[in-house]
Structure 1
Amino acid sequence: MGDPREPPEGAPDGGSGNDDEYRSVVFDESFVRAARIQELSARERLAGAYGRATRPKVRLGPLGTVPRQALALLLVILLAFGAAVYFGVSSPTRPAARPEGSQLTVSLVALSPASAVRAVADPADPFAGLPPGYGDGAVGLGTPAGAATGHFSRIEVTKALDTVQRYLVASSLAPATLVQGATADVRAFVTPGEQAQFDASVVQPTDDRHHALTGWLVRFDPAQVALAADTVKVAGAMRIDEADNGTLEIATDHTFVYALKAAGAPSGAPVTLETVRRQLSFEFDRTDLASARLRLVDSVLQAGPAPCDGSLAGAVQPVLATADAAAPPTPPPAAASTVPPPVDPGNHARPAWQMCGVLAGS
């Protein structure tokens, strides 16, 4: 009877019929599963990767069976998601584009004299008759101390206030701006998005609510008017607010009093006080703060005594006192029954935005 370990058809030719010598090498199921072999792709074989028959897999714990390409793709997705979250959280107020174009809106109000314009009593002390509350130049601007707002630090608010103060000095107090036609110092404060509008206002001032030069600065025609004193008296205040969480807003309301005389007039000539009220609204984003520039978005100018039928777009046109102070006043164009009540440009409790009025206390 044959050996039960032999196959029914007998031992193969050339074999010993007994494989006991191989029984020491056992390839059980756990051994086979433990083998981590992955064949090369056809592209890798064609590329000449003959030095190795297989490529190892990345072993990262539970991710040990994931190919490296998949891990790289997963890493890229995670990095992109993290970057989107970071920039979305850290820069919630970043604007898509900086404002440009005709951002400034201007309103000009001439205040006609109600009676003959009289010269000051003492040309050497032209401001003697002013009521209390006016200061000399920048002192009268009443610039407040900076304080943190909801989204802007004390340092940022202080920097905005300083920029506004220097702008007001350059545009309302500097003799070069007032009677010499200079504009460069004022333009240096204007944000790049408004510079084209500013330049158009300089080249061709127009009372179209956007291109009046006197919306940006105070100017007198040097061919007609000269300063009788370099000092300018000022009274007013500034208010700080936020237009939104990325825009700081500063509103100013000031009355400027200028001592003027006719251009080329000799010493001792009659001196006239011209009153100009400027109600302005400025906006700053953090780019403006970093560059010490400002965006002027609203400007109202009242000036008197000035003729109602004249244009204030290019320059303030004061009605000057004559030597005998007997010249008749320039009346408003409207009929007497429709003449508005007198307007005091030093009264900041009333809005500056209105039509031509009559100057109170001429």
Structure 2
Amino acid sequence: MAGRSPEEPEDGSSISDDELQAFLQESERGAAADVPKEPSARARMVSERLRQQDARGELPPGWRAGPGLGEMDRRAARKRRLWVVLGVPVVIALAVVAMRPSLLPGDPFGAGEPEAVSESPLAPETAAPTGAPDSVDPDTPTIDRPFAGSPALRWADGAAGIVVPEATPVGSLSKAQVEQALTQTRKLLVDANLDPATLRGERPETALAVLEPRQTDLLELLNTALSKPDKNHDPLLMFSRFDPDELRLAGDVVKTRGRMTFKAGENASVVVHADYTFVYPLVQTGEGATEVSRTIVRRVLDVELSDPAKYVVTPGKITVLKYDQNIGNSACDVYDGFLHPQFSTGETEGATPTGPTTDPYDRSQDLAEDSEESCGVVSRT
């Protein structure tokens, strides 16, 4: 391939930036004159290049100002001259923009789509972040843009944010058995936190079905919590639920971010660790309600799948070893089985928060052991 001249533009255009700028300046100076002036040698050179490009069909139609002087009568000369003086720089500039729109400052036509770039999805989380997400320009969420002003704007949508790692054999468990443990964990997370029926307060049958039926204490607690919730039997310990008579999702998207890992357990098993945050945009169901409020729920689970050849377990079912949660923007000390976000237009429910102020989007720290015992204030939603 032949080498490029130092004065030739990198984008392949036959007009360099310097030549283009000089030509436009020559045209602008001509607009200020009362009579036409002989164009400079540089302007003639650029004009000749534009003429040649036009002959080859490389310029958009209509780039030229119009016919030459000899093609119109004197009565139209003043009108034509005004068109030439004012029109030549404009149409040439339009032709240049058509060929090289990056020359326009500010990207007024959205060619670069800066907003789309800033809202592009984040890569999946593979390790604990080093800190909380950067602050986002304050922006009021709306029904059309429920995640405006939230770091979750760039998070994955729903179940797409729960990425299962590639399975490998662990101890006496095969790759297929480890993959089964990961898949069952994902089913639990999706049905407990994202399924529309679960969010409406219905029974999360899929989530319950993946649990080890021999884990009777946990199942008894969850069944009681789902039917008769109280302080000691709270379904929110594992499930995200909103009263459909009071709230509905703003749109159909819940934002999700987190990670899933696994390691060998002590009981000829694989232990899966899941750490995910879910952001729910909500609107009150009252007539004409438009205010959007967000509730943020972080769930950390450790589940185990043991080798049925070595332990008395139900094949394919997972045992919950640990479950923690941190809930941001929900009423304190309300135990009706539903999450209750605060709206500026509504009355404050529940007790006054007594815990510390925390950032619900900060996933860099492990959950405190007593997180479920305190109800604090969130720094943002």
Equivalent position SS for 1:244: coil
- Using a 3 Å threshold, how does the CA distance of structure 1 residues 298 and 320 change in structure 2: closer, same or farther? farther
Q: Give the corresponding residue for 1:227.
A: 249
* Residue 264 of structure 1, CA deviation: 4.2
* Partner SS for 1:250: strand
Q: Which runs of 5+ in 1 are unaligned?
A: 1-117
Which stretch of the first structure deviates more once superposed, 343-352 or 158-167? 343-352
Aligned-partner Cα distance in 2 for 1:233–1:289: 35
Structure 1 position 347 matched with structure 2 position 344: no
Task: Give the partner amino acid of 2:149.
Answer: G
TM-score by length of 2: 0.55
**Which of residues 186, 205, 211 is equivalent to 1:190?**
211
Structure 2 residue 339 is the aligned partner of structure 1 residue 316: yes
CA contact (8 A) 2:181 2:316 kept: yes
**Counterpart amino acid of 2:283?**
K
Counterpart CA distance in 2 for 1:240 and 1:193 is: 22
User: Structure 1 pair 360/247, CA: closer, same or farther in 2 (3 Å)?
Assistant: same
Any idea what SS the aligned residue of 1:170 has?
helix
Larger helix percent = 2
Q: Which has the higher contact order (CA 8 A, sep 6+)?
A: 1
In structure 2, the residue matched to 1:104 is: none
Distance 2:324 2:266 in 1: 23
SS of the aligned residue for 1:237 comes to strand
Matched-pair contact (CA < 8 Å) for 1:226–1:264: no
SS at match of 1:163: helix
- Determine the structure 2 residue equivalent to 1:292: 316
Equivalent residue number for residue 226 of structure 2: 202
Residue 162 of structure 1, aligned match among 183, 195, 203: 183
Deviation at 1:176, TM superposition (A): 0.4
Q: Which residue of 2 aligns with 1:360?
A: 379
Between the aligned partners of 1:147 and 1:207, the Cα distance in structure 2 is 41
CA separation of 1:329 and 1:199: change in aligned 2, threshold 3 A: closer
Residue 181 (structure 1) aligned with residue 202 (structure 2):
yes
Name the structure 1 match of 2:41. Answer: none
In the TM superposition, what whole-angstrom CA distance separates every residue of 1:40-99 from its partner, at most 9, and x where no partner exists?
Answer: xxxxxxxxxxxxxxxxxxxxxxxxxxxxxxxxxxxxxxxxxxxxxxxxxxxxxxxxxxxx
1:192 offset after TM fit, Å?
A: 0.9
Shift of 1:322: 2.3
Distance 2:224 2:282 in 1: 28
2:145 matches 1:125:
yes
Instruction: Write the distance in 1 (CA, Å) between the matches of 2:173 and 2:287.
Output: 51
Q: CA deviation at 1:137?
A: 1.0
What is the aligned counterpart of 1:303 among 327, 334, 342? 327
**TM-score under structure 1 normalisation?**
0.58
- More deviation in 169-178 or 127-136? 127-136
Higher alpha-carbon Rg: 1
Which residue of the partner structure matches residue 13 of structure 1? none
The Cα of 1:124 is off from its aligned counterpart by: 0.6
Equivalent residue for 2:239?
217
Contact 1:143 1:161 in 2 (8 A): yes
State the shift of 1:149 in Å.
2.2
Aligned residue in 2 for 1:274: 295
Q: Which residue of 2 aligns with 1:246?
A: 268
Pairwise CA RMSD: 2.8
Please say if residues 253 and 277 of structure 1, whose CA atoms lie closer than 8 Å, have aligned partners that are also in contact: yes
Cα 1:206–1:296, aligned 2, differ >3 Å: closer, same or farther?
farther
